[in-house]
Every structure is written in structure tokens, then in C-alpha cells.
Amino acid sequence: MVNVAVVGTQWGDEGKGKIVDIYAEKADIIARFQGGNNAGHTLVVNGRKTILHLIPSGILHNNKICVIGNGVVVDPAVLLQEIKELQKGSLFPPNTKLLVSERAHLIMPYHRSLDVAREAQNSSKKIGTTGRGIGPAYEDKVARRGIRVGDLYDEELFREKLHHALEEKNFLLKGLFKEKPLNEDDIASEYLGYAEKIKPYVADTSLILDTEIKKGKKILFEGAQGSNLDVDYGTYPYVTSSNTAAGYASCGSGIGPNAINNVVGICKAYTTRVGQGPFPTELKDAIGEHMQKVGQEFGATTGRKRRCGWLDIVLVRQAARVSGITALAITKLDVLTGLDKIKICVGYKSDQGEFTEAVPYNMNTLSKCKPLYEEFDGWKENISRAKKMGDLPANAQKYLQRLEELSGVNIILVSVGSGRGETITLKDPFRN
């Protein structure tokens, strides 16, 4: 029995959705362990595009158990809408179960209001939040003021927690942000209504995962965002509000770390970033525009245009170290087709002239760093039909070989197009 965690190695948007979808075929359970509906996974199956924000990507497969773990913050309105859309499109298989941890924290209307109000007030120093209330929900969780999914089924407790929360939140909304206060009865009515609709999915998912592991079932742990958006090891403060590293798969799903055997890091063949924050290899030229257009680089959740640049191996190495990555899956290699020259950033040169192969802690320092590159010849051939490494142009093979050498991690999958079948599989991560 081998269990696998999938994490992003960059700033998110690495194409995790497709890879999770592929690996979900081999897994019995797919568990999402952090983040919320601020993340989006785009899947293309039989030419049809599906975007999921909260529900694990494995939901498209029959005879699976899909888990939204305790480490996820859940907006019940978004959850119900996703379920509705999947059912409407006949994409929710009849024998697949969706389970939501009773310990997962709820995103409340005041979380969204505070998220938007704060970003508007700090217009000159925006973090780049999606405005979905993710950060404020995690704040309340850590401050022990959060409302959890299971609280919805004790109306007295739910109303008590809501009352105390609104005393503070309305004070902030009115007094600090000059926004309208929220009505307690309206929120209570709305969320107690959600309670009945999501009740069939709510469970003690930690106990269920433990039971399934003891039966020898295979679990795929699905991460959101990317390692360099981790609240501890990312480019703070331009990060998400949760830990995106693989270690949180244990905490965020309620199983021990010894249950995770392999960690697959998803690495896009170039680098993208949504929102604010330093980006040493960013390209504001025709090549960056090529990546953006050919790669259709728009945020799956926000629709925002992604910033594009050369692959930064410094970021990937940090991700490998922090998450204990055992294998790499390379995505969107096809986007580089047609470029005369391709580069990989192998280190940074500071404004003081010092060379470093590590991501600086200080974001002011990072923003002043200049990338140092290795350059490679590109290729013109269409690679979308490649099924093995030997089918790729020689220059594409050289690029991947050097990426592997620089990262210190073996490549086990290469995506050469958006469809499931446009993939080169070198090794199954569920086999040791």
C-alpha cells in the first residue's frame, strides 16, 4: 500500500488538476487538505473543460471517496453550487462519495466582507487576495473564534458563536472600514439552511481515512496553490493563508505522517504568478506574452492574467526541500514549443553582487535579485502526441534532463498538452 501527496512547486497554477485527475484513476480516495475556494483546478476530459474550486479533482472518477479535510476552509454556498454544477453536467458519478470533515472551518459572510474591505483600504500595498474570505477564516481558526461545519448541527452553539463573532466583526466593518454591518438573523437563517443541504456529506473524515488505510486502500492527497505560497516558507506576505507544503497533508486530513509514502511535486516548464509579490524571472516581453497566450494563463478562480517568466529552479529546490518531494511531474512543456532559446534560472545575484542558490528570506532583497540563467536551444516540433521520452525532440529531452539534474529530483511524468492522453508517464507513484 502506497499513499501519494501532490503539491505545487511554484506559486500555484502548475497544472495540478490534470495530474491529480490522472493519478485519481489509481487511487481509492482523493483527499483535499488545505486552502479553500481561492484555488481552482482546471481539468480537460474528452475536450470538455471543468474547473473545481473546492471539491477534490477525483470527483470525476467513479467508485472513489473524495474528502474535503479539516484543513480546508469551506464556503457552503460554493460547495453546494459545485455539487449542483457537477450533477447538472453528469460529472458526479453515482458510486463516488463526497465527504466533508465536520472539523473543517466555515467561511462566513463577514470573512468575505473583511477580506474585500482590507484589500481596498490597503490599495497601495495589495496582497492580491481573491476576496473569498480565506484569510479571515483562517485567522478566526487560529484565534479560536471559528465556526466549524459540525457546529451547524447544534443550533444553540452555532447561534452563540455567531453572535460573539458579529459583535467584533460589525465593530470592525462599521468603525474601521466604514462598511454596513451584517445582520445576525439573516446569516443564521442562511447557514442553518445550508446545514440541511450538506448534511449527507458531513462526516468524521479522519476516522474514515484511518479505517480505509488499515484496509490497504490507496490515498491521493491533493494540495492547492503552490509551495512558494506557503504561509511559512513562501514569499511572505505575498502568500496564501495556509501551509501548502506536503507535511500539512497529515495535519489537514487527520492522518499520521507515516501514511504518506511519496510526494509528487508539480512543476510547470516555465513559471507563472498571479497577483503581487517578487518574481525574479518575470518576462515583460514577447516571450512572456507567448507563454501567457499559448498557455492560456488566466487564474481559474479569479480570471486574472498570470505573470509569466522562465523556470526558476531556485524556487523548485526550496519546494523539494520543504515538502520532501520524491518525484517531479512536469506540465505545459508544449507551451515552450516554437521558442528559439529557453532558459532556466539557476541562482540569483543580489544588488550587492552576491550569488545565492537559495530564496532570500527578505522580500525586499528578493525583489532586487537578478536571475542567473543557463540557456538551451528550443524546438519547433509539435510534441502533443509524444508517448515516451524518445518521442520528444532532442532539445526538449536535454531541457528536461538538465531540469532533473538541477532540481535533484527524478521526473516521472511530462504533460505535453491539456488533455488526459497528452501525457508521458515514466513511473507510477503508487508503486515503490
Instruction: State how far the alpha carbon of 301 is from the alpha carbons of 120, 200, 272, in Å.
Output: 19, 26, 15
SS (HEC) of 150-209: HHHHCHHHHHHHHHHHHHHHHHHHHHHCCCCCCCHHHHHHHHHHHHHHHHHHEECHHHHH
**Is 334 noted as a catalytic residue in this protein?**
no
Given the residues 13, 75, 151, 230, select the one marked as catalytic: 13
What cell does 220 get?
A: 491521493
Residues 6 or more apart from 156 whose CB is under 8 A from it? none
Q: Give CA–CA dist 220/242, Å, rounded.
A: 19
Say which of 28, 41, 53, 230 is annotated catalytic: 41
- From the list 337, 357, 339, the residue with the least C-alpha distance to 347 is 357
Task: Report DSSP state, residue 311.
Answer: E
Is 164 one of the catalytic residues? no
β 65-68/97-101 pair status: parallel
CA-wise closest residue to 339 among 280, 295, 304, 307: 295
User: Among residues 286, 297, 291, which one has the least CA distance to residue 310?
Assistant: 291
CA distance 12 to 224: 7
Classify residue 338 as left (phi > 0), alpha (psi -120 to 50) or beta.
left
Helix (H) or strand (E) holding 345: strand 341-349
Active site residues: 13, 41
